[in-house]
Structure 1
Amino acid sequence: MPLTGLSSARLVPPGMNGRLWMQMKDAFNDDPKARLHACVRDNDMSALRNLVPLCGTVDLELNYCDPDFGSALQVAVLCDNMTAAGILLDAGANPWASNGFTEPQTSAIETAIQTGNRDMFTRMCEKTVLGDSKIPQQVHRALLNRTTIHGQTAMVEDVLGWADGWSEAVLENALGDAVSGWHVEVVRLLLARFRYSPLCINLSLCRAADFKSDLLSLPRAECNGLDYVNQQELIGCLIGAGADPNSNAEGLNIVIEAATWADLVGALKALLDKGADPNGRGPAGETALHHLGSPVHVKKGPKRCLHETGIRLLLQHGASVTIQDELGNTPLHFAAFGSNMHIFSLYTTGLPVDSPHNDALKSIKNNSGETLLHWAAAGKKIDILRFLLLSGADVNAANDNGWTPLMCAVAPSTATETSVPSYYKALQAVRIILDHGADPLACTAEGWTPLHCLSLYLDDGDGNNNELADLAKEFITRGIPVDARATMLAVSTNSGRKSLRVPNREVGIWGSRVVEHLQPNSNKSPATTKDRTPLHWAMFHGAAGLARVLLANGADVNAVDERNCRPADLINTSPLLQTHPDIRARLTRILVDATNSSVEYSQKQQQAT
């Protein structure tokens, strides 16, 4: 026997969305508690009127919520059935009843707001708010909160008219909700009716230039083209209301924040068009062009890309490519390190027109004496390297702590360069620099040689990495000592300091940055160890192939560092090799074989004498 209130015709009620009907047509049929829902779904008002008086006396609740569709009143809203809504409201249905199963939680009144059904919203509010002086202020605040979050301008205006004496905090929250959702018309309404403090307006501008929030007030909601148009209009609206486009209201430069996300290019354009300084500074004195020298974030994931549109916008608005951060690095330094020839050429268009570009490219240095060639070499940017060398850059220029472009090319500057096959670009960069006359015997102030830097590349020594071994042999042939001593930046599980294998998003530890890590600005002692040979480094960093080359060319297996550690002592104590048991075993075998060979050689020598 069918449940009371179910229609046999099962036709789509007039005015109801067909897709919603298909989703709802088989719902409620097997749930006796959802008989009211079924009546509303089928537009059976006679059965609904007969069932409503039974609520609370049988297995039927007026505010029962279906897990998928909520209360019967919420179904009435979904079906846009004003008659059903009136019957339920007259019977005492609660517009705020929530199913509690969805996130965000929904209710009948929330659904009316979300769908923009002003008539249904007003009908429910008449029952719960209007004309009742006993309605607590928190209900009005809740209505204002929900209507602003959903950007329902007409409903916001209604709610504002139902009460007065709105507090400053409530109005600021409302403006913040509207701004975070990029609801420009609601923002215009609020700004026209109320006076906000300059701080509030400036904070609102910072939020407007950020990602749109979703209904949970979480940033980075999905957006379409119209959303980005609304964002640009919103920024213009707030600046027109007195917001300062150069304000650092949240401690961050608003232009830099917008520029470092490719998806916020519309916000960047709106800010620049409205007078924002394209050379605004960040915490380290950097500008947006410093950041855009490397790939920036795309959407909400880890993907990154070079932001050509943002770069062009900044240059068109007068951004400088030679302005220095607190370390003296220019945007050109960062572009040489992290971009490509196309983007680097775009940066060079910002050089002063009254000076030859070649001269400028050769003369630009940071506070530590690093040229653009140093940075291009560290970034392994082959085309930029060639361009700078052909422009006359000094291939043997040394910075303040003795780093030459060759050393910058050999040293891994990012984590991904330390593993196969990522270091091939480093080998290619080294070869180009050597072919242009680089001195292979140059040594840094820390005692590092190219052999020390080659030991930083993870290499299982299986014989497939012949290019790395060949380069090491060439350096040894040219006169680099296999047992040269140097200070190594170590990894300590207690200090938590990083090795040279730094995250890919950082510039890395090379050149003048090595000094910062050897002499940190704190009372803690640096995580370093002195007097380590390239063989020590190879054992610590897992460079098995290089270890073979060093041992074959006379490296001392018994050399001790300042802590009296031999190379063999580092194999099992290195935190970098904890997840590479195969390489640890291979390094041990290499040392055992080398030691046995040394013993056999000594025995033969003794027998010969």
Structure 2
Amino acid sequence: MNRPSDSDPYPLHTAARTSQTQVLEHLLSTNPELSLKEDEDGRLPLHWACTTPNTDIIRSILDSTPARSFDPDATDSSGWTPLMISASLPNDAGLAAVELLLARDADPKLPSNTGGTALHFATSKGNVDVVRRLLESGASARVKDKRGQLPLHRAAAVGSMPLVKLLLGPGKSPVNATDVDGMTALHHAVGEGHGDVAVELMREGADSGKRDAEEKRPIDHAPDNSVRQFILRRAEMEGIDVEEG
């Protein structure tokens, strides 16, 4: 077993971050109070454990943390909870950890310092299964972050059709909500070149004539003519009128 370095002021954090299971369990058995120690970023060992998909490490910390002090929604200096961190692992790698944290009463509705929730972060990474689980657990797709963005804005920006459908369907997200730049999800989908998502949004009621803070319609954000023509052709096939300049 690798021993923690005497020069490391946060050995349990290091063991959690690097998935050193034996070291972590040794430290917890000798001093469970270490699980409550914050590092310079305000993070507990649990935060660092959640940066990996290793649920054994996460479960060991959860089971060893003194019950009187346990807070599943402890935040770091950026306002991130362990649930937010697990939800943001790419490729749905944090799904099992998300399930584990929700079972320990983690709150999926809490915002970070930027106003983003676990749902925002999972959506940004294209995590369809995590988003579905968060919605089932009461996360709201109708909450904006401090930039005025809903998770739907992020789903449109990353071009995820499954997420757009989830957020508009079970999530009941508004389709024409604007962010601080006056941009709707449709503006973002067009701007990032996601023509299929743009057409889907219009099919669901997105307003093609809505102008942003610069008086631009969504189609005006097309990155090139090929994207613009793709959207116009597909919309015409669907019987959708696209407002142009």
TM-score by length of 2: 0.75
Contact 2:80/2:112 (<8 A) preserved: yes
Match of 1:324, SS?
A: coil
TM-superposed CA distance for 1:545, in Å, is 5.3
Q: Partners in 2 of 1:277 and 1:544 — Cα distance? A: 58
Q: Establish whether residue 547 from structure 1 lines up as the match of residue 242 from structure 2.
A: no
Residue of structure 1 in register with 2:208 after alignment: 481
2:30 is matched with which residue: 253, 256, 274? 274
Q: Partners in 2 of 1:484 and 1:546 — Cα distance? A: 19
Q: Establish whether residue 430 from structure 1 lines up as the match of residue 157 from structure 2.
A: no
Residue of structure 1 in register with 2:157 after alignment: 411
1:317 is matched with which residue: 47, 51, 64? 64
* Closer/same/farther in 2, CA of residues 322 and 476 from structure 1, 3 Å limit: same
Q: Partners in 2 of 1:307 and 1:269 — Cα distance? A: 14
Q: Partners in 1 of 2:206 and 2:166 — Cα distance? A: 19
TM-superposed CA distance for 1:431, in Å, is 0.6
Match of 1:311, SS?
A: helix
Q: Establish whether residue 445 from structure 1 lines up as the match of residue 180 from structure 2.
A: yes
Deviations 1:290-320 (A, max 9, x none): 233343xxxxxxxxxx112211221122164
Q: Establish whether residue 469 from structure 1 lines up as the match of residue 195 from structure 2.
A: yes
Match of 2:88, SS?
A: helix
Q: Partners in 2 of 1:284 and 1:536 — Cα distance? A: 42
Deviations 1:383-435 (A, max 9, x none): 332233233333312233322121232233xxxxxxxxxx5xx2211111111
Contact 1:482/1:550 (<8 A) preserved: no
Q: Partners in 2 of 1:456 and 1:395 — Cα distance? A: 22
* Closer/same/farther in 2, CA of residues 434 and 287 from structure 1, 3 Å limit: same
Match of 2:34, SS?
A: coil
* Closer/same/farther in 2, CA of residues 336 and 257 from structure 1, 3 Å limit: same
Q: Partners in 1 of 2:73 and 2:207 — Cα distance? A: 37
Percent of aligned pairs with the same residue? 22
Q: Establish whether residue 333 from structure 1 lines up as the match of residue 80 from structure 2.
A: no
Match of 2:78, SS?
A: coil
- Structure 1 or 2, whichever has the larger Rg, is 1
TM-superposed CA distance for 1:289, in Å, is 2.5
Contact 1:483/1:533 (<8 A) preserved: yes
TM-superposed CA distance for 1:374, in Å, is 2.6
Q: 2:229 is aligned with what amino acid?
A: R
Contact 2:195/2:231 (<8 A) preserved: no
TM-superposed CA distance for 1:534, in Å, is 4.8
Deviations 1:29-75 (A, max 9, x none): xxxxxxxxxxxxxxxxxxxxxxxxxxxxxxxxxxxxxxxxxxxxxxx
1:378 is matched with which residue: 121, 124, 139? 124
Residue of structure 1 in register with 2:44 after alignment: 287
TM-superposed CA distance for 1:347, in Å, is 1.6
* Closer/same/farther in 2, CA of residues 533 and 294 from structure 1, 3 Å limit: farther
Q: 1:403 is aligned with what amino acid?
A: Q
Q: 2:163 is aligned with what amino acid?
A: A
Residue of structure 2 in register with 1:343 after alignment: 97
Residue of structure 1 in register with 2:237 after alignment: none
* Closer/same/farther in 2, CA of residues 554 and 536 from structure 1, 3 Å limit: closer
Contact 1:443/1:449 (<8 A) preserved: yes
Q: How many residues align structurally?
A: 227
Match of 1:367, SS?
A: coil
* Closer/same/farther in 2, CA of residues 312 and 445 from structure 1, 3 Å limit: same
Q: Establish whether residue 397 from structure 1 lines up as the match of residue 148 from structure 2.
A: no
TM-superposed CA distance for 1:255, in Å, is 2.2
Q: Partners in 2 of 1:408 and 1:456 — Cα distance? A: 12
* Closer/same/farther in 2, CA of residues 485 and 549 from structure 1, 3 Å limit: farther
Q: Partners in 2 of 1:547 and 1:292 — Cα distance? A: 44
Residue of structure 2 in register with 1:518 after alignment: none
TM-superposed CA distance for 1:371, in Å, is 3.1
Q: Partners in 1 of 2:11 and 2:191 — Cα distance? A: 38
Q: Partners in 1 of 2:226 and 2:88 — Cα distance? A: 28
Residue of structure 2 in register with 1:83 after alignment: none
Residue of structure 1 in register with 2:238 after alignment: none
Match of 1:277, SS?
A: helix
TM-superposed CA distance for 1:438, in Å, is 1.4
Q: Partners in 2 of 1:471 and 1:455 — Cα distance? A: 8
Q: 1:439 is aligned with what amino acid?
A: P
Contact 1:289/1:321 (<8 A) preserved: no
Deviations 1:134-184 (A, max 9, x none): xxxxxxxxxxxxxxxxxxxxxxxxxxxxxxxxxxxxxxxxxxxxxxxxxxx
Structure 1 residue runs of 5 or longer lacking an equivalent are: 1-227, 244-248, 296-305, 352-356, 413-422, 460-467, 487-529, 557-609
Match of 1:366, SS?
A: coil
Structure 2 residue runs of 5 or longer lacking an equivalent are: 234-241
Q: Partners in 2 of 1:256 and 1:532 — Cα distance? A: 48
Q: Partners in 2 of 1:374 and 1:429 — Cα distance? A: 11
Q: Establish whether residue 454 from structure 1 lines up as the match of residue 189 from structure 2.
A: yes
* Closer/same/farther in 2, CA of residues 278 and 544 from structure 1, 3 Å limit: farther
Match of 1:548, SS?
A: helix
Q: Partners in 2 of 1:279 and 1:546 — Cα distance? A: 52
TM-superposed CA distance for 1:381, in Å, is 2.5
TM-superposed CA distance for 1:533, in Å, is 6.1
